[in-house]
A and B are shown apart, each in its own frame.
Chain A
Amino acid sequence: MDVHDLTAAYALDALSPQETEAYEQHLGQCERCREELAGLSEAATALAYGAVAPAPPPRLRTSILDAAREERTNVVPLRRSRWVERGSMLAAAAVACVAVGLGVSLSQPGQQIVTATLSVGSGGKAMLSTSGLGAAPRGKTYEAWIIPAGRQPRPAGLFRGGPDSSLALRGSVPRNAVVAVTVEPTGGSSAPTTSPIFSTHA
């Protein structure tokens, strides 16, 4: 059995339990299979949308949430998820920062509420979610930065903004680092060229 050949079947859940186990062990060592699986899994999952989807009975939702609530009281999370900031910037502040620092205008000042949420999980992996942040203007992109205490900013990824966006930051966020977002030319910069539109201490 060539384990490399099992990727499509694994993505379709079409392996026996023994084959599944062998393939999962192999995945840990094979970068090529992991990449291939990511792509094939998305295609396989698209098939889920191919089934007719009648509404489930409302009791199913209740039943799931009840069961989850009961479990919560008994379960200690295995891995701590550390929420650093759940900041909420109101329109005035956001518009001021954005407009003054970067020359970006939001379409509806006074109504737009921008929120940025940074969550840092175990190992310093972090996710930055924004909502209500206008899309970056033509020729520009938002760029996230990780700034370890007393060090130069490290590029941590690009995102386009829009009503709802999230970015898994590249690299880990050390304790006491600052995470910031700036507007940069498309393609990103290796060091910030503008003032941050927001930043937070991790």
Chain B
Amino acid sequence: MARQHAHLSDEALVLLAARSEESALAELYDRYGRTAYGLALRILRDPALAEDAVQEAFLAVWRTASRFVPEKAKASTWILTLAHRRAVDIVRREQRRRADTLENAPEPVAEEGVDEDAFLRLQRERVQSVLRHLPDAQREALELAYYGGLSQSELAERLGQPLGTIKSRMFSGLARMRELMEEPGTEMSWTSTT
């Protein structure tokens, strides 16, 4: 029964979740829970807090599925946005933890030695390759904002740059990422293996 919905699209699963079909939520978790957890762990550097963030995000999916508008966004984007937002909320609450993050920004989890799903590893390598193609200043702004949970004002202060410069680095960085991801060879795969 675990993968009874394996053939359904993400969007169809959200519609089922809106009807309180628990099995649809389970399938969405099976597709995106691991990515959401990896993201939350990178931001929070604390497995217990990361679990909290992921749990809150999936319960938000459950509660608000009926308001999801498929024309506006892909379901995967919506789910991972919710997970990111929860993790950032929590990291901002945990000021002390964040101060620690700012001091040294290594990967929270060693890349070697993690029993990583092959498909997810491929996706990660693609994103990291796209990031490597960005100018250093843009990459730094995106990483500190997205993985560090810094606000744009905090970024400006930390990097000693005017706010306008930070805004333009974030914008140009995301816009360039988009272009790179559309190029063949760096093409992202958005669908989960089932």
Interface of A with B (CB < 8 Å)? 5-9, 11-16, 19, 34, 38-57, 60-61, 63-65, 67-69, 71-72, 75, 77-81, 83, 115, 117, 119, 121-122, 125, 127, 129, 131-132, 163-166, 168
Q: A61 to B27: give the CA distance in the assembly, Å.
A: 10
B116 adjacent to chain A (CB < 8 Å): yes
B interface residues (Cβ-Cβ under 8 A, vs A): 7-9, 11-12, 15, 18-20, 22, 25-26, 29-30, 33-39, 41-42, 47, 50-51, 54-55, 58-59, 62-63, 66-67, 69-74, 76-77, 80-81, 83-85, 88, 107, 109-111, 114-117, 120, 123-124, 126-128, 130-131, 142, 145-147, 149-153, 155, 164, 167, 170-171, 173-175, 177-178, 181, 188
Residue contact B55 to A60, C-beta cutoff 8 Å: yes
A13, A61, A117: the one within 8 Å of B29 (CB): A61
Say whether B59 contacts A71, CB under 8 Å: yes
- 6 CB < 8 A contacts A-B: A12-B142, A44-B84, A48-B38, A64-B25, A117-B12, A168-B71
A15, A48, A52, A131: the one contacting B107 at CB < 8 Å is: A52
Partner of A49, one of B69, B120, B155: B120
Instruction: List chain A residues, Cβ under 8 A from B167.
Output: 5-6, 8-9
Determine if B116 and A68 form an interchain contact, defined as CB atoms under 8 angstroms apart: no
Q: Which of A49, A56, A132 contacts B7 (CB 8 A)?
A: A132
| Min C-beta distance of B9 to chain A, whole Å | 4
A36 and B96 alpha carbons, distance in the complex (Å): 35
Docked-complex contact B41 and A129, CB < 8 angstroms: no
Closest CB in chain A relative to B120 CB, distance in Å: 5
Minimal beta-carbon separation of A45 from chain B (angstroms): 5
Q: Which interface residue of A5, A47, A64, A68 has the most chain B CB atoms within 10 A?
A: A47
**Taking A41-B77, A121-B15 as contacts, is the C-beta distance between A56 and B177 under 8 angstroms?**
no
Chain A nearest CB: distance from B169 CB in Å?
A: 9
